[in-house]
Structure 1
């Protein structure tokens, strides 16, 4: 019997597998895809703290960034920069392969083309049911971790609840022309409820994509057509990928013998949709919690609840502020986005970000609150009134 079965061989699942295997635990990782290095709908942008935590070969870094240009629908722009590199664009398929290889080297076993269909647990074990290349299989362990992408039915099956708000990510690999900085497009006709991007990677290649709630295929094609017309990419006829991104965490991320970690648990930045760093931080907590459970032979929900208490202590404030910022941004029209950019220029927001000690690619909370404070103090009363518009109706509530 295995000590732990991890469902999902993404960065978070493999990182956790390596951690546990290095503690001497018997690890099995189940992955539905036939190849761990398959393409994923992710820009692979991480901050320095995440890069340090990953401790990966520098060959996996496609590009570095110390600046970004925000562009509105009318073409107005705002450039933000720092004097040092703050973000790194990673080769995501290669990152998946590298982390899986490290886990294997540490002693973890991988089964590919294995689609988990159910997880049952009792007082003695967990039983993971799966379809392996079309044939039913089952695997037993002391504990199981759900580390899949968002949208898996497993959390609901396990009584962990469901995530009530999400957005769609859409992205394409492109050939770029004359683009050497990250560009972000603030245009809610182009990317309803979200934003779009063009990220240069390496050797004239790049990633064009968006976060949106509506018709991602249609809007991504419109983005590619626009970028081609502007001469920023060489072709709009490129394959596109899509994925759903959680904006809220799971209500519960533990049960008897069970943990949920990473994107499936909603441990994702609501501002950018990035989930690698927060997932890794939670994987560290999960590794410590599971090691303690295995050492004491106590797999109860009461012991495993410490995992949720710890990750929420680290991330809950960031997630709440980020979700509030996302909702505020989502409810702005293009006119209000233009006003926001004009305000940022008028009140030296670029300088604030350049000089701010609060700035971090991975931690947005303090910077968001600082900018909101500047907005409240600096915007005239009549400006605030015109800046606001009737919010859209949504059923989601902001987590406290």
Structure 2
């Protein structure tokens, strides 16, 4: 029996892969969606997106734990900087259920969802993409006209298909806790956290919250020390599961396409460098990729030259945003506790943070802040580097 050749195989059923599967199959293309997990959407994630996310993906309204109108930022010295708005600035969502629904909606069209598949080999020739995957010990083979790689950070599959990998990474650690003593996001800087790290408590509902840290080194011991210090502040903290640790790319890949192949999501670094969040950027990138890929499938032109349109459209929207985000992250990583204290005091007194803030688009606020007196409080060599980058971006 002849093996069926589908239009597209997508490896990875996270937000990027599931969204791409939905887009392509709803436009009449045949799709196979592979994932090594047995449960869709269960990657470790805090699940915070901007309020504008709902404009692009209205179905998320069914999966909102709460809307965030305010946040509290604690300086290393313990000073509280409170940010509050009359309208919601972010949505805290049930990521797992939301991504699962996108994948299941894709199945209603012509997407074949195959879970528990571990992709071992990918070969691309002049006409097709050939994939070998293991399922419960047995080898399966698939053939398609094109491939979307959405296999997540650190995937070894990138090099098989000619995509570049992100060069810079950070690490996160997070647990779910039985804690309902706060009703807004709490962010912690310095003190029990080393340079470049920040911590958080994100309330989900009336019973549970996420507690975590993010920084450039393996965070296990740092996380444990952070939790120990928080218990002095919040006596009722109750930890009931093990900490999860994951890597996050914070620099985009220089090449996100090749012959018959596009990469989307964490595997090509489509993540906010400031917070490590990737839901919004991944899904918007999936929309751009699926648009170009659909055109290529329809016209039977899946050449590297044609698919380069995807990278160009992606860079037009996101490149500068991520460059400024990287600058902000490197700047934060250079700061001492005293410098963070002084900057937070200045932000508190000057009203800089009265400016509207988008949780997914940070560049406008970052550039605005750098043009104030914020750099006067910095002694590190990073000050001159920031000034140089700002000058080049404004040219």
Shift of 1:227: 2.2
Q: After TM superposition, what 4+ stretches of structure 1 lie above 6 angstroms from structure 2?
A: none
Shift of 1:349: 2.0
Matched ranges for 1:283-294 at <5 A: 283-294=286-297
Task: Pick the aligned partner of 2:31 from 27, 32, 41.
Answer: 27
CA RMSD of aligned residues (A): 2.0
Structure 1 gap segments, 5+ residues each:
393-397
- Where 2:131 maps in the other structure, the secondary structure is strand
Shift of 1:189: 4.4
Change (3 A) 1:368 1:21: same
- Partner residue of 2:386? none
- Where 1:193 maps in the other structure, the secondary structure is coil
Q: Distance in 1 between matches of 2:41 and 2:267?
A: 19
Q: Is the 8 A contact 1:322 1:364 kept in 2?
A: yes
Q: Distance in 2 between matches of 1:214 and 1:161?
A: 23
Q: Distance in 1 between matches of 2:358 and 2:238?
A: 34
Q: Distance in 2 between matches of 1:177 and 1:49?
A: 26
- Count of residue pairs the alignment pairs up: 383
- Partner residue of 2:380? 389
- Where 1:274 maps in the other structure, the secondary structure is coil
Matched ranges for 1:60-71 at <5 A: 60-71=63-74
Task: Pick the aligned partner of 2:363 from 337, 350, 365.
Answer: 365
Change (3 A) 1:305 1:37: closer
TM-score, with structure 2 as normaliser? 0.92
Task: Pick the aligned partner of 2:329 from 323, 326, 329.
Answer: 326
Change (3 A) 1:225 1:209: same
Deviation string, structure 1 residues 82-140 (Cα, Å, up to 9, x no partner): 11001011111111211111111122111111011221111110001211122222210
- Partner residue of 2:90? 87
Matched ranges for 1:147-166 at <5 A: 147-166=150-169
Shift of 1:391: 5.4
Q: Is the 8 A contact 1:179 1:200 kept in 2?
A: yes
- Where 2:108 maps in the other structure, the secondary structure is helix
TM-score, with structure 1 as normaliser? 0.91
- Partner residue of 2:274? 271
Q: Distance in 2 between matches of 1:373 and 1:153?
A: 41
- Partner residue of 1:179? 182
Task: Pick the aligned partner of 1:131 from 131, 134, 150.
Answer: 134
Q: Distance in 1 between matches of 2:379 and 2:54?
A: 38
Q: Distance in 2 between matches of 1:13 and 1:28?
A: 11
Q: Distance in 2 between matches of 1:58 and 1:153?
A: 35
- Partner residue of 1:395? none
Task: Pick the aligned partner of 2:12 from 8, 13, 35.
Answer: 8
- Partner residue of 1:253? 256
- Where 1:29 maps in the other structure, the secondary structure is strand
Deviation string, structure 1 residues 185-208 (Cα, Å, up to 9, x no partner): 111642542211001010221000
Q: Is the 8 A contact 1:177 1:231 kept in 2?
A: no
Change (3 A) 1:129 1:175: same
Q: Distance in 1 between matches of 2:352 and 2:178?
A: 32
- Where 1:154 maps in the other structure, the secondary structure is coil
Q: Distance in 2 between matches of 1:53 and 1:347?
A: 34
Structure 2 gap segments, 5+ residues each:
384-388
- Partner residue of 2:265? 262
Shift of 1:175: 1.5
Q: Distance in 1 between matches of 2:111 and 2:258?
A: 23
